[in-house]
Amino acid sequence: MYSDKQNALSSDQEALIKAAGEARRNAAAIYSHFRVGAAIEDADGRVWTGCNVESSSYGLSCCAERVALFKAVSEGVRSFTRIAIVAGGPNVATPCGACRQVLHDYAPDLEIILHNPKTHVTRVHTLQDLIPHAFGDSDLEEEE
C-alpha cells in the first residue's frame, strides 16, 4: 500500500505526525544537521517518541525511529500499529535499512507515515512496501 495523502489523513495520523515533529526539535544532529523525529504508536494507543542522536563516531549514532522503538521496548511494549517520521530535505525521508530491519522485527505489519514539514508532503506506506522479503524470526531456525 502506498498513498500520497496530503489532505486525507485521519486525526490519529495527524496527531502522530505532530508528536514526531515535536520530538524532532530535540534532535542532536550536531554533524549532519539533518533533524529527524519519530513517534511510534503501540497497540494500546500510547505514543513513544524519539529523535536522531549523533556521535562523532558516526556508526554509534542512532536514528529517531530506533530511539522511539527502543524507548517503548525498554518499558515492556512489544506490539505496534504505526510510526510517523518527520524530516526536512527535498523529499520525504524513509527509514534507513537498519531501522527497517529493527521495525520489522517488532512490527512487520507497521504503517509508516512519512512527513516533510518543508514541502508539506505526507506519504503513507506499509513496512512491507519498504522492506519486501524481509529477514525475520522464521529465518532463524537452528541448523541440525
65 catalytic per annotation: yes
User: What length is written for the chain?
Assistant: 144
For residues 36 and 13, give the distance between their C-alpha atoms in angstroms, rounded to a whole number.
17
Cell of 127: 513496512
Cell of 133: 522479503
For residues 6 and 15, give the distance between their C-alpha atoms in angstroms, rounded to a whole number.
14
**Which of these is catalytic: 14, 22, 41, 65?**
65
3-state SS assignment for residue 60: helix
Q: Which residues are catalytic?
A: 65
